[in-house]
Amino acid sequence: MKKATWRKIKYPVLIAGIHLFIFTVRLLPRRLELARFKLRGRIAYWLVKKEREKCKSHLRYAYGKNKSEQEIKKMTQKVFENLALNFCDMAYTFHYRTKEQFLKIWEVKGEEHLKAAYEQGRGVLVSTCHVGNWEFAAIAPPILGYETSAVSAPLKNKRINDLIVGSREARGMKNISRGKGRAMPLILEALKKGECMVIMIDQDIVAKGCFLDFYGKPAFTSIGAARIAMEADVPVVTMVTRRLANHKFCVEFFPAIEMERSGHEKSDWITNTKRIHSPIEALVKQYPEQWVWFHERWKRQMATIDPRLVVVPEQ
């Protein structure tokens, strides 16, 4: 009874605390808040040992002898700082709803690529990653005026999940929750309507996939994006929302990728997954300090994964 009562009290208090935090962040000019959060990121680097060492370990694995231990340390510090700066901007822009508001801190580049693909009327799969402020990635297309849905994994805490999803939906994004086979019909339906569908493909998730090189090392990669693009017959546009030196963000779109079709379905899934994944890997390599190196990108290998999930080329 005590635990149940505590849960009933805890979560409303937690949500109230989040709203208070968001309110207080907006009391000072953004540049001052960013400076404060950058310092908090540096403090977190020293306090959160487990995540710090995990981040360093992954960077060492990726870069090997190409980076010294001092360089790895500096990159890890930057990763922590960038995460703290992202929290600041998410809170600072929580009340933003319009394109005019976001363009105060966004620069948009390459929108012609998204527009050209969108105007075909077939729908567009927008492939993105956890570089820069990825929360902006989910809302960038609808803020720019494109009908958009996005796929996300629901958080365990329903109240926090509802808060985040509600914020996205207030900016025009329609949320589709991943899991238990519920997402695919909704994804295909949205694309059939000609919408943009935002999906992230830079993490190891429990789904059918293949092993692709990431920093020259095999990383299990979901084939979901390629399967969707092929089944819906839509182009794929890569997008990133990276932080600039002046703390604005560059919301950048890249030329559309059309899916290849050889007639061998599984081989095509792998080929097209490589084509979608390649520009994502390039973005991580170009802006490594803005990626989430806490994520265990190489955790599952062939010896430890359920073989039923691994797609292999047809002979």
31-67: pLDDT as tens digits = 999 999 999 999 999 999 999 999 999 999 999 999 9
Distance CA(263)–CA(31), nearest Å, equals 54
Pairing of β 236-243 and β 124-128: parallel
Helix (H) or strand (E) holding 300: none
Most confident range, picked from 141-155, 264-278, 300-314: 264-278
Looking at residue 171, what DSSP letter applies?
A: T
11: confidence class by pLDDT, cuts 50, 70, 90: low
Indicate yes or no: pTM above 0.85: yes
152: confidence class by pLDDT, cuts 50, 70, 90: confident
Round the average pLDDT of the chain to a whole number and report it: 91
Q: How would DSSP label each residue in 71-101?
A: HHHHHHHHHHHHHHHHHHHHHHTTT--SHHH
> Domain ranges in the chain?
1-95, 98-310
Whether 12 shows a pLDDT value over 90: the answer reads no
Distance CA(253)–CA(214), nearest Å, equals 22
Contact assessment for residue 148 and residue 173, using Cβ atoms and an 8 Å cutoff: yes
Report the pLDDT value the prediction gives residue 178, as an integer from 0 to 100.
Answer: 75
Q: How would DSSP label each residue in 180-207?
A: TT-HHHHHHHHHHTT-EEEEE-SS--SS
Region at 239 (left for phi over 0; alpha for psi -120 to 50; beta for the rest): beta
Percent of the chain with pLDDT over 70: 95
Biggest CA pair distance of the chain: 62
Report the pLDDT value the prediction gives residue 179, as an integer from 0 to 100.
Answer: 67
Helix ranges restricted to H, the chain: 2-25, 30-47, 49-63, 69-92, 99-102, 111-118, 134-143, 158-170, 183-192, 224-232, 265-286
Q: What digits encode the pLDDT tens for the residues 166-196? A: 888 999 999 988 765 678 899 999 999 999 9
List b or e across 180-211, with b for residues whose CB sees 16 or more CB atoms inside 10 angstroms.
Answer: eeebeebbbebbeebbbbbbbbbbbeeeebbb
Beta-bridged to residue 198, according to DSSP, are 126, 150
Closest C-alpha among 209, 212, 240 to residue 138: 240
Residue carrying the six token digits 């990133």: 240
- Looking at this protein, which amino acid is placed at residue 275? R
Whether 264 shows a pLDDT value over 70: the answer reads yes
Count how many Cα atoms sit within 13 Å of the Cα of residue 27 in the half-sphere of its side chain. Answer: 7
